[in-house]
Amino acid sequence: MKRKYSLILLILILAILICCIFTSCKNKNSIDYKLATFDSQSDTVDDWDKNVIIKSKYDYDQLFSDNNIKVKHNEYDEDYFVDNALVVCMFTWGYLSPNLTIDSVLVLNNELVINIINREKKWTLHLTMAEFWVCILEVNNEDIKNVDDVEVNIETKKTLI
């Protein structure tokens, strides 16, 4: 009988250790980022559904002035772009007042993948008025040195509450 309990205890301890190891490991493809802004726009922007990586002050100024983007964001000077970059995602979303959050930011091959989740109540009535969104992420240049493209995936998850 003691042997049976010892075996069960040993299996339980191993299961806990395996769970601890797997939950504490960070995805090797994920990168650190700081969310600078995630805002909807009241006006339409000239070039929507565009995702860009900005690595210079000149590109930053061009994007924000040429596209009429009005968001609350930090001002970035030339010194900022020595070690850092901005990832700017612009997209339309067809529901009024979505609950959008960033789930993960990953580097897969030569692509930066931003996974966004829209959490909505299971019985939501959709008002189909397109909103224009801008998401700006601050990232380290070293983390995205081999990235050529940016992809944004939006997944809707239904919740009861």
Neighbour tally for 128: CB within 10 Å? 7
How far, in Å, are 14, 42, 53, 154, 160 from residue 119 at the CA level? 35, 22, 27, 10, 10
Quote the pTM value.
Answer: 0.71
pLDDT recorded at residue 133: 80
pLDDT averaged per 10 residues, the chain (length 161): 74 73 60 82 62 89 72 78 91 68 90 87 62 85 91 83 61
pLDDT recorded at residue 81: 93
Q: Are 153 and 115 in contact, with CB atoms under 8 Å apart?
A: yes
pLDDT recorded at residue 111: 92
How far, in Å, are 9, 19, 27, 28, 123 from residue 22 at the CA level? 20, 5, 10, 12, 35
User: What is residue 82's three-state secondary structure?
Assistant: helix
How far, in Å, are 8, 81, 100, 101, 104 from residue 115 at the CA level? 40, 24, 10, 9, 5
134 token code pair: 């801008």
